[in-house]
């Protein structure tokens, strides 16, 4: 019989607790690396190891996304019910698609004859954007299924709600950048000091959100039946995200049109 340990007031099998801890560490390492990337510190850490090229950027991104892919995969065996397991598989597969996309972009650029052109890089960014768009929709659905199929305490559910918001930010970011204003590769519509500060603070919050997600009761190994209709996309989480996405897109357009030129001067 498996030994048990205490997790948020509950007794869970030791194997499940170990998998949750490993997943939390993988998520934390991934988000810490994101913070370093936002600050540009990752360049200093790897400048003596990796050459500076577009191919290197895609390779580094592919390696980075292996961490969340593995983190979600670690949680699959401890899922409390079939709905949670299915949703977690979708999360892991989504990041696997991101890894394959970046790896494919790196291979395509490395196989190109002559110098890599801006057009080629732009195509790779377009593929990346489309993949991120599709995966963000999958992630929104998966997180909503996990929240609906488990009795997660309100405090932890609020933290997991940040992951829903982060997936919405990815969705809105791709739609806004590619569809609304058509930015090119390497551009950022809100590249400024306030934007950098927001991204750093947000990623730090996500460290806590991913840790709470990995350690929540949904992956404690304790079996629990999911309610009926849990797979339906017509739920309060998805409805709230759709509404919030529309409002956010409108607000971003207004900020980009009137405030972004001033912010970029900071």
More confident residue, 58 or 246: 58
pLDDT band for position 70 (50/70/90)?
very high
Q: What is the pLDDT of residue 260?
A: 55
DSSP 8-state secondary structure symbol assigned to residue 151: -
First to last CA, the chain: 61
pLDDT at 177: 67
Higher pLDDT, 247 or 46: 247
pLDDT of amino acid 223 = 67
3-state secondary structure (DSSP) of residue 10: strand
Q: Tell the burial category of 185 from Cβ atoms under 10 Å away from its Cβ (0-12, 13-18, 19+).
A: middle
The DSSP code sequence of 84-102 is: HHHHHHHHHHHHHHHHHHH
Q: Name the nearest CA neighbour of 140 among 119, 161, 122.
A: 161
Minimum mean pLDDT range among 14-18, 71-75, 84-88: 14-18
pLDDT at site 123: 83
> Whole-angstrom Cα distance, residue 1 to residue 149?
27
Q: What is the pLDDT of residue 50?
A: 53
Neighbouring-strand partners of residue 10: 7
pLDDT of res. 7: 45
Please compute the mean of the pLDDT values over residues 16-29 and round it to a whole number: 93
Q: Which residues contact 94 (CB under 8 A, 6 or more apart)?
A: 135, 138, 139, 142
Question: What is residue 76's predicted lDDT score, i.e. its pLDDT?
Answer: 95
Hunting for tokens 């409805």 — which residue is that? 239
What would the pLDDT profile of 106-128 be if each residue is shown by its tens digit?
Answer: 998 888 776 777 778 878 888 88
Of 49-53, 113-117, 194-198, the poorest mean pLDDT is in 49-53
What's residue 9's pLDDT? 42
DSSP string of 25-83, one letter each residue: HHHHHHHHHHHHHHHTHHHHHHTTTS--SHHHHHHHHHHHTHHHHHHHHHHGGG-SSHH
Task: Give me the mean pLDDT over the 79-101 stretch.
Answer: 94
| Span 28-35, average pLDDT | 93
Report the mean per-residue pLDDT for the chain: 79
pLDDT in tens, 123-159: 888 888 889 889 998 999 999 999 888 888 888 988 9
Q: Which of 168, 174, 204 is nearest to 189 (CA)?
A: 174
pLDDT of residue 238: 73
For 241, the token pair is 């995200």
Q: Where are the alpha helices (DSSP H) in 82-192?
A: 82-110, 118-148, 154-174
Residue 97 or residue 188, greater confidence: 97
């Amino acid at each position: 019989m498996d030994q048990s340990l205490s997790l948020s007031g509950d007794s869970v099998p030791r194997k499940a607790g170990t998998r949750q801890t490993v997943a939390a560490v993988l998520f934390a390492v991934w988000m810490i690396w994101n913070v370093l990337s936002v600050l540009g510190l990752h360049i200093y850490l790897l400048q003596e190891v990796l050459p500076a090229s577009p191919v290197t950027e895609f390779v580094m991104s592919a390696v980075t996304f292996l961490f969340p892919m593995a983190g979600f995969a670690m949680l699959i065996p401890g899922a409390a019910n079939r709905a949670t397991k299915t949703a977690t598989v979708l999360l892991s597969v989504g990041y696997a698609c991101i890894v394959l996309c970046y790896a494919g972009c790196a291979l395509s650029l490395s196989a190109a004859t002559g110098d890599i052109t801006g057009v080629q890089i732009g195509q790779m960014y377009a593929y990346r954007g489309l993949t991120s768009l599709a995966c963000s929709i999958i992630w929104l659905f998966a997180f909503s299924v996990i929240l609906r199929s488990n009795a997660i305490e309100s405090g932890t559910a609020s933290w997991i709600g940040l992951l829903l918001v982060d997936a919405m930010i990815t969705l809105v970011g791709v739609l806004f950048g590619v569809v609304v204003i058509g930015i090119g590769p390497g551009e950022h519509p809100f590249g400024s000091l306030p934007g950098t500060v927001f991204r750093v603070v947000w990623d730090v919050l996500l460290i806590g959100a991913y840790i709470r997600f990995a350690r929540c009761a949904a992956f404690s190994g304790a079996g629990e039946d999911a309610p009926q209709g849990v797979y339906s996309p017509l739920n309060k989480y998805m409805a709230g995200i759709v509404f919030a996405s529309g409002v956010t897109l409108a607000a971003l357009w207004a900020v980009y049109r009137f405030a972004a030129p001033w912010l970029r001067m900071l």
